[in-house]
Amino acid sequence: MINHPIQPLYDENSKVLILGSFPSVKSRESMFFYGHPQNRFWKVVSAVLDCNTPETLDEKRAFLLSHNIAVWDVIASCDINGSSDSSIKNVVANDLNIILNNCDIKQIYVNGKTAEKYYNKYIRNKINREALCLPSTSPANAAWSFERLVDAWKIITTI
């Protein structure tokens, strides 16, 4: 069983919550979200918001908070082989009320089908909130070009 090592990122101004499934090995090593250099999250969100891509952890934190974006993951702990979403078993979900009780989240998005699957199974009915599924920014989602991802992710700016 691996426990999620990264605290949620949010502040009282957060309006959008983006949830991944569970941090990759690289993210767990860097102790921050979307730490794998091939994950397109930072480049996609930066393009959507027409900003330079943040590089350091401090820049990434400031970037998200300055755009009222909170991030976390659906899963608090699970059994997982490396970073393979398909190997996830024995899921314990995160309690999103930590975020929802401290800011006015207008919309929840999930980053990919795995996050959607576990959100719908473990969280949706507990908090009575739907999450919109965005195409995964993972390098494993090679069917989606960068341009298509940016176009799909533009919805996060409509809040």
Domains of the chain: 2-157 (3.40.470.10)
- Mean of per-residue pLDDT scores for the chain: 96
Looking at residue 158, its pLDDT comes to: 82
pLDDT tens-place string over residues 104-140: 999 999 999 999 999 999 999 999 999 999 999 998 8
pLDDT bracket for residue 24 (50, 70, 90): very high
Ramachandran area for residue 59 (φ above 0: left; ψ -120 to 50: alpha; else beta): alpha
Alpha-carbon distances of 111 from 1, 73, 84, 119, rounded to whole Å? 23, 9, 15, 11
Q: Which residue has the tokens 């949706």?
A: 124
pTM score of the predicted model: 0.97
First to last CA, the chain: 37
Whether the per-residue pLDDT at 16 is higher than 90: the answer is yes
Minimal CA–CA distance to 38: which of 94, 71, 99, 83?
Answer: 83
